[in-house]
Structures are given as C-alpha cells and as structure tokens.
C-alpha cells in the first residue's frame, strides 16, 4: 500500500509506536462477516459455514474470515450474514439497543451498522435508517430486505430535516459519519489517493454538523454514538470534545479507538454520549391505512400461502402494501423508500408478493422450494426450476429463503428481482 508521504509523517508525529503501524501497512487487511441472528444463531452458522471462522472480540456474532469473496456464497443471498470490516462492528454495541426502542442510524448506507442495530431489536420497536444520497439509499434498502428486517423505515433525507422532524424522539442514535477514511488505507486504494490535510479538515467540519443534527433527535436519558473509520484527532477526539463543549446536556460515557497494529481491525473510533435534562417530542403516531382492495387481496393470499401474517399495521405505500409498527409516525412530508415490511401489491386483480416478504425474518411462507448450493445458482441467475409444489412459495437454499417462486405444472416460475440476478 502506497500511503501518502504527508500522511505517514503526520502519523509518525502522533503515534509513539509508529514503527509498528508502518510495518502493518504492508500486511493484508482484516476481513470479517457478521452472522444475522434474526435468521440463524452464531453457533448454528458456525456449523454450516463455508468459511473458517475466528471470533471478533467486541461483537458476539462477528467473525474474522480469510475468504476473499464471501458474497459469492448463496448464504449471503439468503441474508445469513453481512460482510463487514471487523473494527466497524465495535460502534453499534456501545448503544446497547433493546427490543421495543426507537432507534436512528443517521448515515446508514450501505447498512452494516444499521442491520447490526436491527439484530438487537429483534423486530420490535422502530428503526429509522437514513441516507442522504439516493443511490446509496437504494443499496441500503436492498441490504435491509436481504437481512429480513421488518421494523425499519428507510429514508432519504438531509440530516437537518431528520433533526427537525424527530426532535427528542429517539432512545438511541448512531452517527457513523463520512470521514477521511484513514482506517481504509490498507483496504481501498481510493482512500489513500484521496487523503489530504484539506480533506481531513473538510470532513471534520461536516461531521460537526451531523453531530449537532443528531443531538436534537435524542430524548432525555437517551444515548448517542459517534463513530468514524479514521485516526485523525480532528475528526475523532477533537470533534467529541467540541460536541461536549457545545452540548453540556450530554456526558461522555465511553470512547474507543482501534488501530490495526494494536488490535485485529483496520481502524475505528467510537464515542458514547448520554443525554441528561429535558427534551420535547411532538411527533405522534401516523394514521395511514391500507386500501380496502389491497387488504382484501392480501388476506386471500395469506390464507392460501402463509403460515402466519406479519405483525403490525397494514398501510398502503405507493402501489405496495406494507406492514409497519403499530405506533409508527406519520410518513407525510418525509422522503421514504420503504416503511416496515413490503408485503406486495395487487396486479391484475390478484395479490403478488414482494421479494422482501420471502426474506423476512422469521419466515412466513407455508411452503419452501428447497435446493442445494449447486442448484440454487440457476435460480439466482433467473432460470426456471423443477418443482412439484403448487402456487407461491419461498425459494430456499438448504432451508434458508433467498427469494420467491410460483410453481405451476412442475415448473417454478422465477420471481427473483432482475436487478439482483448474477
């Protein structure tokens, strides 16, 4: 890895053990996965894993792997794991998220930490995953669906808009801020090419604004975690100290920094704050309801093909029918990509299920068309498959759903989304 000379000089001035850090830059980066405990326990996954696993100390479902391209496994398509750099797993556990809480990930794409928070929520409560950039928000939504998350609202809004809308609303808030990416230098050549003192300063200024927006959304007694994947004090410790100076209602409870030559991770910073005093929240549950025709069509579909119906309140969202938490806030005036679990839509007078419904945790379909690792690749390519079932079913690999199919006359019609096919 060719690190910029100015960067190396800067690190030499700041690290007493710089020689060890410099030596590690020529070593391969750490790689990891996080088991999706919404669908399978870490112990169960270890028994079927196609990779050799070594535990990550700060995340119970996290593992180091040596596999270069774990995303090629069909278990990835089934949402059994998320590919995540090991040190990046350290931030979300600091929030100690519990089922039933209101949780915000302000800068959520592509979804590593947000899906980590969702695992702790166990499908209960309200999780808002926000991403300002539309293209990245779409990737975030794909990962939310793949991981089977049913209680998330994926938004595409400016952080200041989120702050105004959700003042004092959330129990737990995560700000994984865009940064100069010094912890990505071994992993991404682009990070090294883009590094400069000017970029560090620009990132630090942007992060301050994100932190101040996030602070407004935390209720009294709530918690806020600020994290980056950089080593720059301007973006890490100095931003944390500046935040406390400007927000005396917050107290710093814990601060953690990972360097690749000291711990097994590429690099991460995380700080946990608790809010004291008082807060106000004017947000109330929404009144959105489902269109009668869509609800009737879904009811008939569920009776025929589902073993149970998703919990929550059914609402019409565009052309789709979704199941959302009962006390979900109003969606009016907010740019939302998806609210809760997409159930499907009415087409030609009949209900057509959504891809997300097949992957939702726990599984809802009565029937599964199950295939081996070798066979499922044909389905993931978009091919029709032999199948002796009848009607709509989840298509699974070794019992774990990867998508939808409709069996007719011994053939499984492929309903795997064209944009996901490989």
Both 145 and 164 in one domain: the answer is yes
What are the structure tokens assigned to 60, written together? 């119970």
Report yes or no on 60 lying in a domain.
Answer: no
Cα-Cα-Cα-Cα dihedral sign, residues 53, 58, 61, 62: negative
Percent of the chain with pLDDT strictly greater than 90? 92
Both 145 and 179 in one domain: the answer is yes
Residue 1, pLDDT score: 66
**Using an 8 Å Cβ cutoff, are 138 and 206 in contact?**
no
Q: What is the mean pLDDT of residues 125-148?
A: 98
- At residue 277 the predicted structure's pLDDT band, cuts being 50, 70 and 90, is confident
Both 306 and 372 in one domain: the answer is no
- Which position among 107, 229, 387, 393 bears the catalytic label? 229
Give me the chain's average pLDDT, please.
96
Both 372 and 359 in one domain: the answer is no
Both 111 and 226 in one domain: the answer is yes
What are the structure tokens assigned to 347, written together? 């087409």
Percent of the chain with pLDDT strictly greater than 70? 100
> Which letter does DSSP use for residue 28 in this model?
P
Domain boundary residue among 275, 305, 333? Answer: 275
Whether residue 412 has pLDDT greater than 90: yes
CA 101 – CA 98 distance, rounded (Å) = 6
Q: What is the mean pLDDT of residues 188-204?
A: 92
- Token pair 């159930």: residue: 343
Total count of domains within the chain: 3
344-364 pLDDT, tens digit per residue, is: 999 988 999 999 999 999 899
Q: What is the three-class DSSP state of 273?
A: strand
27-45 pLDDT, tens digit per residue, is: 999 999 999 999 999 999 9
User: How many other β-carbons are positioned within 10 Å of the β-carbon of residue 72?
Assistant: 13
Answer yes or no: 229 catalytic. Answer: yes
Both 255 and 404 in one domain: the answer is no
Report yes or no on 131 lying in a domain.
Answer: yes
Report yes or no on 203 lying in a domain.
Answer: yes
Both 265 and 161 in one domain: the answer is yes
Residue 188, pLDDT score: 86
Whether residue 377 has pLDDT greater than 90: yes
Report yes or no on 346 lying in a domain.
Answer: yes
Cα-Cα-Cα-Cα dihedral sign, residues 323, 329, 330, 332: negative
Both 326 and 305 in one domain: the answer is yes
- At residue 208 the predicted structure's pLDDT band, cuts being 50, 70 and 90, is very high
What are the structure tokens assigned to 303, written together? 């009776």
Reported pTM: 0.97
Residue 168, pLDDT score: 96
Both 110 and 254 in one domain: the answer is yes
Report yes or no on 372 lying in a domain.
Answer: yes
281-321 pLDDT, tens digit per residue, is: 888 889 899 999 999 999 999 999 999 999 999 999 999 99
162-187 pLDDT, tens digit per residue, is: 999 999 999 999 999 999 999 999 88
5-31 pLDDT, tens digit per residue, is: 999 999 999 999 999 999 999 999 999
Both 256 and 197 in one domain: the answer is yes
Q: What is the mean pLDDT of residues 253-270?
A: 97
Whether residue 81 has pLDDT greater than 90: yes
Residue 278, pLDDT score: 81
Which CATH number do you get for residue 143?
Answer: 3.40.50.150
Domain boundary residue among 275, 305, 325? Answer: 275
Whether residue 110 has pLDDT greater than 80: yes
Report yes or no on 10 lying in a domain.
Answer: no
Report yes or no on 19 lying in a domain.
Answer: no
- Token pair 């595409």: residue: 156
Domain containing 206 equals 94-275
What are the structure tokens assigned to 407, written together? 């069996």
Report yes or no on 1 lying in a domain.
Answer: no
Domain boundary residue among 325, 341, 364? Answer: 364
Both 325 and 215 in one domain: the answer is no
Residue 3, pLDDT score: 87
What angle is formed at CA 306 by the lines to CA 301 and CA 308, rounded to 5 degrees?
120
């Amino acid at each position: 890895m060719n690190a910029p000379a100015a960067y190396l000089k800067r690190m030499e001035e700041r690290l007493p053990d710089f020689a060890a850090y410099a030596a590690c830059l020529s070593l391969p980066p750490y790689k990891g996965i996080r088991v999706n405990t919404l669908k399978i326990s870490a112990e169960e996954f270890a028994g079927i894993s196609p990779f050799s696993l070594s535990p990550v100390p700060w995340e119970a479902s996290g593992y180091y792997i040596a596999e270069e391209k774990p995303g090629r496994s069909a278990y990835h398509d089934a949402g059994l794991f998320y590919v995540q750099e090991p040190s990046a797993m350290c931030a979300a556990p600091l929030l100690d998220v519990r089922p039933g809480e209101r949780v915000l990930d302000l800068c959520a794409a592509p979804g590593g930490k947000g899906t980590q928070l969702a695992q702790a929520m166990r499908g209960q409560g309200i999780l808002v995953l926000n991403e300002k950039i539309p293209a990245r928000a779409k990737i975030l939504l794909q990962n939310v669906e793949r991981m089977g998350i049913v209680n998330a609202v994926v938004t595409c809004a400016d952080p200041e808009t989120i702050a105004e809308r959700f003042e004092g609303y959330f129990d737990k808030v995560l700000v994984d801020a865009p940064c100069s990416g010094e912890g990505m230098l071994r992993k991404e050549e682009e990070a090294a090419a883009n590094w400069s003192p000017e970029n560090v300063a620009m990132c630090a200024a942007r992060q301050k604004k994100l932190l101040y927006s996030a602070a407004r959304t935390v209720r009294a007694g709530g918690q806020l975690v600020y994290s980056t994947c950089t080593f720059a004090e301007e973006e890490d410790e100095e931003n944390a100290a500046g935040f406390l100076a400007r927000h005396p209602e917050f107290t710093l409870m814990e601060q953690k920094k990972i360097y690749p030559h000291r711990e097994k991770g590429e690099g991460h910073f995380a700080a946990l704050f608790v809010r004291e005093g008082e807060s106000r929240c004017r947000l109330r549950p929404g009144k959105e309801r489902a269109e009668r025709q869509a609800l009737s069509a879904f009811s008939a579909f569920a009776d025929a093909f589902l073993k149970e119906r998703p919990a929550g309140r059914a609402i019409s969202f565009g052309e789709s029918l979704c199941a959302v938490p009962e006390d979900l806030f109003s969606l009016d005036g907010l740019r939302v990509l998806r609210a809760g679990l997409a159930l499907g839509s009415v087409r030609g007078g009949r209900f057509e299920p959504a891809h997300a419904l097949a992957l939702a945790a726990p599984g809802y379909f009565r029937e599964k068309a199950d295939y081996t690792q070798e066979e499922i690749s044909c389905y993931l390519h978009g091919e029709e498959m032999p199948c002796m079932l009848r009607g709509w079913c989840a298509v699974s690999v070794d019992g774990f759903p990867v998508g939808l199919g409709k069996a007719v006359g011994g053939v499984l019609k492929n309903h795997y989304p064209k944009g996901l096919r490989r």
